Amino acid sequence: KMHKNKYTIIGIGEILWDIYGETKYLGGAPANFAIHCHNLGDDGFIVSRVGADSHGDEIKIALKQKKLNNQFIQTDKIKPTGSVSVTLDEAGKPSFDCTKDVAFDYLEFDPRLINLAGNADAVLFGTLAQRNKTSRQTIHQFLSMENNLLKIYDINLRGWNKDIEKIVARSLKLANVVKLNDNELNILRSNTQPQLDDRSFLNFLIQNYQLKLAALTLGENGSVIATPSDIVQMDGLKINAVDTTGCGDAFAAGLVYQYLRGKSLEDILIFSNRLGAYVAQLAGATPSYSLKDITNFEIIHNLS
C-alpha cells in the first residue's frame, strides 16, 4: 500500500480537563492521542462533546492553539464539561477521579462523521466514554462504518464489573489493534484466561479477536508488541519522570504513526518508547513538541 505524507487520525470519546489542584491540563485518552498524532505531523481530529460552560470554551481555545480542527467537538446545552482530579505520587504516577454524567457521555452521531470515518486512516477509542449508552452507541456506529481503518482499542481500565466486562468484550470485537498496560492486562487476564503468561495472553487476544497487533506497556520496564506472526520486547528508557499522565497516549500515537508508515516492529517500539519517555519528562498529558524534538531527544540522550 502506498504510504502518504499525512494520515487522518481520529480520537473518539472523552475530552476533559485534568485538574491538579490549581493547575489544569487538557486530557482524555482519545483526545491526548489525537493531539500527539497531530504534533507528529498527521491530521488529528477529536470527536467528543463539551458543555456550554467556561471549561468547554477553554477546551475549544486550547485546541485552536494546538492547531487542531474542533468541528467535531459537540456542545451540550445541559451537561457540564468533563473533568478529572489528578493526584501524583513521588514517582509521578497519577491516580484519577472523574466526574460523572457529563457532556462526553452524550456524544451524538452527527451525519458528518460518516465522511470523517471514510477519510480516516486510524481511530482510537477507550472504555471510559462508553460508560453511558448514548456515547457507546455513537462510538460503535463510528467503528462499524469502515473496515479499511486501523481501530485501536486503548483499554484504559480503572476497575472491573459485569458492565465493564460487556463493554470490553464488545470493544475487542470492534477493534483490530489493542493497547493495554500491565495493570489492565492483569485485570483482563484474571477475569478471562488467568493461567496464561503475558506473551501467551497477547497471543490469545490476537487469535481470539483477529487483531493485527497488540501492544503491552510496562512503564519503566518497557513494552511488548505482538502481531499474528511475531513478538518484540524492549526495555524501558531511564529518564527522570515528572508526570507520566499521557505517556500511554503518546506511546499509542507513536505506534500508529510508525505502523501506518510500514515500519518494522522494532522501529515501531523504539519510536513509541522514545515518544512516551519524552512526554514523561514534561508536565501535563499533551505538552507541545514536534517530530524534530523527538529525533533530537534521541541524539542528546544517545539512544540510537
Distances, alpha carbon 201 to alpha carbons 134, 180, 186, in Å: 32, 12, 10
Higher-confidence residue of 239 and 226: namely 226
State the DSSP string of 76-125: ESSSPPPEEEEEE-TTS-EEEEE-SS-GGGG----THHHHHHHH-SEEEE
Average pLDDT, integer, range 231-254: 87
pLDDT digits (tens, 9 = 90+) for 287-300: 889 999 888 886 56
Are 126 and 14 in contact by the 8 Å Cβ rule? The answer is: yes
Residue 208: per-residue pLDDT: 98
Retrieve residue 205's grid coordinates.
487476544
Q: Where are the beta strands (DSSP E) in 113-167?
A: 122-125, 150-154
**Mean pLDDT, rounded, for 43-48:** 98
- Is the Cβ–Cβ distance between 6 and 21 less than 8 Å? no
Mean pLDDT in residue range 61-75: 96
| Ordered domains of the chain (ranges, CATH) | 8-300 (3.40.1190.20)
Cα–Cα dist 292/121, whole Å: 23
| Helix, strand or coil, per DSSP, at residue 164 | helix
Tens digits of residue pLDDT in 192-212: 999 999 999 999 999 999 999
pLDDT tens by residue, 55-64: 999 999 999 9
Cell of 232: 518484540
pLDDT tens sequence across 142-190? 999 988 899 999 998 888 999 999 999 999 999 999 999 999 999 999 9
Residue 240 pLDDT grade (very low, low, confident, very high; cuts 50, 70, 90): confident
Q: Chain-wide mean pLDDT for the chain?
A: 93
Give the mean model confidence (pLDDT) for residues 93-102: 91
Residue 68: name the closest of 101, 96, 42 by CA: 42
Q: How confident is the model at residue 304 (pLDDT cuts 50, 70, 90)?
A: very low
Rounded CA-CA distance 139/49 in Å is 12
